[in-house]
Amino acid sequence: MAETKENYDLTPRVAPNLDRHLVFPILEFLQERQLYPDEQILKFKIELLNKTNMVDYAMDIHKSLYHTEDAPQDMVERRAEVVARLKSLEEAAAPLVTFLLNPNAVQELRADKQYNLQMLKERYQIGPDQIEALYQYAKFQFECGNYSGAADYLYQYRTLCSNLERSLSALWGKLASEILMQNWDIALEELNRVKEIIDSKSFASPLNQVQNRIWLMHWGLYIFFNHENGRTQIIDLFIQDKYMNAIQTSAPHLLRYLATAFIVNKRRRPQLKEFIKVIQQEHYSYKDPIVEFLACVFVNYDFDGAQRKMKECEEVIVNDPFLGKRVEDGNFSTVPLKDEFLENARLFIFETYCRIHQRIDMGVLAEKLNLNYEEAERWIVNLIRTSKLDAKIDSESGTVIMEPTQPNVHEQLVNHTKALSGRTYKLVTQLLEHSQGQAAR
Amino acid sequence: MPGSTVTVTIGYLFSNCRLDIRQGKELNHERCPRSKLYQQSIKYLGPPGSDSSTEEELDEVQDTNTAAANASRYLKGGSDSDVDDDLPKRIVQPAKEKRFEEMVNTAEQMKQNFDKINKQLEKVMRITESVKKAPVLYIKTRVTLEDFLNETLAAEKKMSHSNSKAFNSMKQRLKKNNKTYQEEINKYRESPDQTEEVKVSEEDLCDKDPKEITSEWINQKHKEVVSSRGRKGTSPFELVDQLTHLMRIAKTPPQKLEILFSVVSAQFDKFVNNMFTILDLLVKHDNIVVTVELDENLVAFLERVDAEFFKSMQNVDPHTREYVERLRDEPLLLALAQNVHDYFERRGDFKSAAKVALRRVESVYYKPQEVYNAMRKLAEETRKPTFPESSRAMMDALVSLIYKHGDERTKARAMLCDIYHHSLMDEFGAARDLLLMSRLQDSVQRMDISTQILFNRSMAQLGLCAFRVGIITEAHGCLSELCSGQRVRELLAQGVSQSRYHQRTPEQERMERTLQMPYHMHINLELLEAVHLICAMLLEVPNMAVNSHDAKRKVISKSFRRLLEISERQAFTAPPENVRDHVMAATRALTKGDFEKAFWVLNSLGIWKLLKNRDTVLDMVKARIKEAALRTHLLTYSVSYESLSLDHLAKMFDLSDNQVHSIVSKMMIWEELHAYWDQPTRCIFFHDVQHNRLQTLAFQLVEKLSVLAESNERAMEARTGGGGLEYAGSGKWQDNMSYRGTQMDGTSRMVSLNRGVRV
């Protein structure tokens, strides 16, 4: 069982697309779930920390890993180095930092970037060097784990910076800081900002752009499954052609998260059809219980298979760092997403099942839905009452009888033609725009 | 001296020899091997003896003395033997003593040389494998030696003791030896006006009277020469010379051709040898700064020889052994290409390396793993190249290099080869993704014809691959355009199809011929046709059942429909003979729902043995046929049933309950079948809604309207430069521009597969 758990674990595929600091929450999660031996995770952590400036933390982990009180020599040296570097950066950035800490001075800044730069130079002798120093200082702060400081400095830096490249990396830094501080609202704003830049900026190579998109999607996972509106956002972002292509080419494992979002989100049903097509295309390159569940329900109509998959999905969700977020409720800890997922998955199965049946035995239905008889009955009655289902329960024979829904011919014809007029209007406006554009030229 | 006269005279001499042999005179070689002779001659180094035969011999020799003198005069300067016929003349001059000394020395030398020449003769005979005659050179030496001895004898009456002793022993040995070659010597003396210019190795080829040259003889010689190819001690250079000569004297054009082919292979060896030497030199002396020109030359050489190899494969009849033998040269060529490639990579000249890599890719991409293994083995015999274990690994390495450094055309070709190879390995997904991402479907029309052919080949292979892995719709999509119409042969460059409707100019025909694929690269056309028709059948039979009233409405495969019509028109159906008949017979069975017979008919096709995983493919075909039969059955007879039980259907079509359930559910959801399951009784209840005529017509009208709207949109899109409805026009256009030609670009992959085959 442990083996399959590890198979479903996407950490090795996700981690390369994240910042070092962002991997920590995942490792914490894995440690908690005990999927891997503690020792291994601690080693990973040290390895991660080696490239950051969080040397004290690394030392602590080292001590607990090897049960010693001594930190290795290189770590001690590195610590001294880090402290020294911090000092020097602090000094370099000091003029600007003091300026920014002075509320009166900050009020002098205006929306005009050129003016600000000019003003800083003339009145405070702060030139590009100091601004650059601020960036370095912010980055260093981030590396040290001081995310809030980093976020502030990076925000200030962006108002002053004139280099596009730098501005983008500052934005990435800000995004990471906000994610790590769990300010989901702000993080979502930053995410959209980064997205805009990625989509509008011209990259050195298309490959580069794709890579940036992939990063964005990975980083976004933190936000999407924590922000209340995230599940709609994730679909809106991932289903976009450019992002979907990036997923298909380089990161098919992201399909898991998209599939989950589709299942738990009722508002994006229309796009589901499109997504099913993608699943069909990609099934050879990536296998995941959640994706396979969708395939079972919507491609193969294999309801027994879907049911089996549902159990696997449960396992996956509980062990996924993004999906398996726990909520402590007194003595119980629950995974809210899991329950939501199961409920919706059940509904998916049921809906499709009902579409092709006219009479279903309640017992079988209960079994299919992973519920007992009474629960199933209650569940169905609820559905009928909320008029989600056009059916009646025949208690005597213990069956659900669907009301045959014969679509009215007239209705069908109207439905088919309705879209036509819209399309034609669109075409005409486009044509006019085009001809106007030609005339203007 | 013109070569032809040389041949004539020398040829004449030996033709006589041969005649003698036929008359039964003994020449004694076999019975008296050289080693024995040599031993005897050692024995004779002792005190000289004389017998009557010697004197007779002497007389005889003296009789012909004048003629011999002529001969030696004639030979003057042209001879390469150790004996110099200036010597006797000089001896008559003053300062005799001194000359005598010299002569003794010379005699001594001659003795040694004489032994040497005997030994050499032995070797020569062994090598040329002609025991029947000794080389002319040998005979000539003997004759001059004898003449010289006689002359000396006549000129010098006085001799010191030691001198005369040596002289005598010499005479004895010579005489003894000459006996064996008496015949030849006599002949030689009879026609002394011959010249000796031709090299030893060539002699036995060239010395024949043109009248006597028969085609059998040439054939035999040809075989001898060819079989010595690649053996130790035969240099490719000599081989070429010999063969060129043979070619010149060959009798009939076919023979000439045959020899010419061998010449080509010999020259190929020569070329490869040279190239290897160049490379070795370059590798050994890293410090040599090679100019750009030379680098270009190296690439050009390789490309040329590769092109020539391709051409030769095109022209050799594939059903001969020769073809196979030529094919054996390929590993060598590949090894060479690899060396050149390595060389360029070491030098950091990736542009040239990419060019060479493409050549390598193009000679590997069509090889399945088994063939690749065989080739690898062969190549490793020759020069120890290190080809990776699997052809896939090799392709990956080469192709990624090309994507990085190649130019547009190189990249496109490499991509197509990559697609082909992926398909060959049954990796349909990877192949399809490559094809769709590369957007080659859109750009291939603008490329050269050979690339288009490659594109067609890749499409064909992709289709076969899709079929093997059981994706029928995609397989049909890939193949339908290629196979409909009678031009498959032409499209794949596997032969010229005769077209009634348009006449080709001779230039066009020549062009076409130069683009033909060599036989070993062919895709089996029968297999292709069978796969295409089977796919069409599996899709079309249920489809026809859906629209049974209005057959023309939705046609998936036009060509299949046409074939079906033709076969239905026949009054009597004969047992199936070709692929088409088989599929038609299967179709008839399938329409009736008789899946067993349909499968049996298809199973009897001969083409299945061409597939590697034959059994799994056949199982797949069987499963598909069952499914199609079930669908057809339901669609055709649903009108006549109120309900149908699941168990009954499962038994009828030999499918599991789950499969039947899944298939039927799918049909319900797609609204092909207006029915519902009744779960407790496990039955299908049909709720067929019959539309009246007006409603049907209204639906048809709606459908036509939507088609119209769609075509309008498409027309608009084409005019505004691809600005789709969803995007701002300019943005998408720019994206397209920047993405083109890169591999991992992530542009839209939603392009439909069946987009065309062109030549």
Taking the CA of residue A195 and the nearest CA in chain B, the distance in Å comes to 16
* Structural contact between residues B487 and B493, judged by C-beta atoms closer than 8 angstroms: no
pLDDT band at B58 (very low <50, low <70, confident <90, very high): very low
Share above pLDDT 90 across residues of chain B, in percent, rounded to a whole number: 4
Q: Which of B55-59, B307-311, B621-625 has the highest mean pLDDT?
A: B621-625
Lowest mean pLDDT among A242-246, B365-369, B484-488, B733-737: B733-737
Neighbours of A423 (CB within 10 A): 16
With beta carbons under 8 A apart, name residues in chain B contacting A424.
709, 712
With beta carbons under 8 A apart, name residues in chain A contacting B686.
none
Mutate to test the interface with A, among B679, B727, B733, B748 (most CBs of A within 10 A): B679
Distance, in Å, from the CA atom of B461 to the CA atom of B416, rounded to the nearest integer, reads: 11
Question: Which uninterrupted H or E stretch holds B74?
Answer: helix B65-75
Taking the CA of residue A243 and the nearest CA in chain B, the distance in Å comes to 9
With beta carbons under 8 A apart, name residues in chain B contacting A210.
744-746
**Tens-place pLDDT, residues A87-126:** 888 888 777 777 777 777 777 777 777 777 777 777 777 7
Q: Which of A246, A282, A213, A211 is nearest to B430 (CA)?
A: A282
* Contact across the interface for A206 and B742, Cβ inside 8 Å: yes
Residue B535 pLDDT: 92
Task: Choose the closest CB to B725 out of A250, A364, A426.
Answer: A426
Task: Choose the closest CB to B691 out of A242, A359, A409.
Answer: A409
Q: Which of B178, B177, B161, B160 is nearest to B47 (CA)?
A: B161
Q: Which of A4, A26, A10 is nearest to A251 (CA)?
A: A10
Amino acid occupying residue B342: D
Residues contacting B330, CB < 8 A, separation 6+: B309, B363, B375
Lowest mean pLDDT among A215-219, B188-192, B720-724: B720-724
Give the pair of three-digit tokens for residue A200.
């509008």
- DSSP state letters, B22-34: HHT----TTTS-H
With beta carbons under 8 A apart, name residues in chain B contacting A301.
661-662, 665-666, 669
Taking the CA of residue B294 and the nearest CA in chain A, the distance in Å comes to 34
3-state secondary structure B554-585: CCCCHHHHHHHHHHHHCCCCCCCCCHHHHHHH
Residue B534 pLDDT: 92
* Contact across the interface for A427 and B713, Cβ inside 8 Å: yes
Does A248 contact chain B (CB < 8 Å)? yes
What is the mean predicted confidence (pLDDT) over B478-488? 80
Q: What is the DSSP letter of A156?
A: H
Question: Could you say which residues from 402 to 421 on chain A have a Cβ atom under 8 Å away from some Cβ of chain B?
Answer: 402, 404, 406, 409, 412-413, 416-417, 420
Q: Over chain A, what is the mean pLDDT?
A: 81
Distance, in Å, from the CA atom of B404 to the CA atom of B354, rounded to the nearest integer, reads: 8
Mutate to test the interface with B, among A209, A358, A360, A434 (most CBs of B within 10 A): A358
Task: Choose the closest CB to A249 out of B681, B705, B744.
Answer: B744
pLDDT tops 80 at residue B356: yes
Amino acid occupying residue B130: S
Question: Which uninterrupted H or E stretch holds A327?
Answer: strand A327-329
Specify burial of residue A93 (Cβ count, 10 A radius: 0-12, 13-18, 19+): buried
Region of A18 (left: φ > 0; alpha: ψ -120 to 50; beta: rest) is beta
Residue B626 pLDDT: 92
Distance, in Å, from the CA atom of A400 to the CA atom of A361, rounded to the nearest integer, reads: 6
Share above pLDDT 90 across residues of chain A, in percent, rounded to a whole number: 0
Q: Which has the higher per-residue pLDDT, A311 or B550? A: A311
Distance, in Å, from the CA atom of B355 to the CA atom of B303, rounded to the nearest integer, reads: 9
**Tens-place pLDDT, residues A243-265:** 888 888 788 888 888 888 888 88
Four-residue CA torsion sign, B542, B547, B549, B555: negative
pLDDT tops 70 at residue B3: no
Taking the CA of residue A65 and the nearest CA in chain B, the distance in Å comes to 41
Chain B nearest-CA residue for A300: B662
Longest dimension (CA), chain A: 90
Distance, in Å, from the CA atom of A318 to the CA atom of A326, rounded to the nearest integer, reads: 9
Provide the 3-class DSSP secondary structure of residue A402.
strand
Chain B nearest-CA residue for A247: B746
Task: Choose the closest CB to B429 out of A246, A285, A423.
Answer: A285
**Tens-place pLDDT, residues A391-430:** 888 888 888 888 766 667 788 888 878 888 888 888 888 8
Lowest mean pLDDT among A246-260, B88-102, B157-171, B377-391: B88-102
Provide the 3-class DSSP secondary structure of residue A360.
strand
Residue B629 pLDDT: 92
Task: Choose the closest CB to A358 out of B433, B685, B747.
Answer: B685
Q: Rounded to a whole number, what is the distance in angstroms from the first to the last CA of chain B?
A: 55
Question: Could you say which residues from 351 to 370 on chain A have a Cβ atom under 8 Å away from some Cβ of chain B?
Answer: 352, 355-361, 364
Distance, in Å, from the CA atom of A140 to the CA atom of A52, rounded to the nearest integer, reads: 9
pLDDT tops 50 at residue A29: yes
**Tens-place pLDDT, residues B265-286:** 667 667 777 777 776 666 666 5
How distant, in Å, are the alpha carbons of A68, B81, B98, B213 from that of B196? 97, 11, 33, 20
pLDDT band at B322 (very low <50, low <70, confident <90, very high): confident
Q: Rounded to a whole number, what is the distance in angstroms from the first to the last CA of chain A?
A: 68
**Tens-place pLDDT, residues B5-22:** 333 333 333 333 333 333
CA A118 to chain centre: 40
pLDDT tops 80 at residue A193: yes
Helices (H), B448-524: 449-468, 472-483, 488-491, 506-514
With beta carbons under 8 A apart, name residues in chain B contacting A250.
744, 746
Long-range contacts of B608-613 (CB under 8 A, 24+ apart): B610/B524, B610/B527, B611/B468, B611/B527, B612/B368, B613/B426, B613/B468
CA-CA-CA-CA dihedral for A166, A168, A173, A177, to nearest 10: 140
How distant, in Å, are the alpha carbons of A437, B32, B715, B725, B732 from that of A441? 6, 104, 22, 22, 20
Give the pair of three-digit tokens for residue B493.
């460059």
Residue A1 pLDDT: 35
Task: Choose the closest CB to A357 out of B676, B720, B747.
Answer: B676
Provide the 3-class DSSP secondary structure of residue B685.
strand
Chain B nearest-CA residue for A416: B702
- ipTM (interface pTM): 0.71
Chain B nearest-CA residue for A363: B680
pLDDT tops 70 at residue B86: no
- Chain A / chain B CB contacts < 8 angstroms: 108
Query: In B, what residues contact A, Cβ < 8 A?
Result: 428-429, 433, 437, 658, 661-662, 665-666, 668-669, 676-681, 685, 687, 689, 691, 695, 698-699, 702, 705-706, 709, 712-713, 716, 719-720, 725, 738-739, 742, 744-749
Taking the CA of residue B746 and the nearest CA in chain A, the distance in Å comes to 5
- DSSP state letters, A182-247: T-HHHHHHHHHHHHHHHHHSPPSSHHHHHHHHHHHHHHHHHHHTTSTTHHHHHHHHHTSHHHHHHH
Residue B724 pLDDT: 35
With beta carbons under 8 A apart, name residues in chain B contacting A360.
679-680
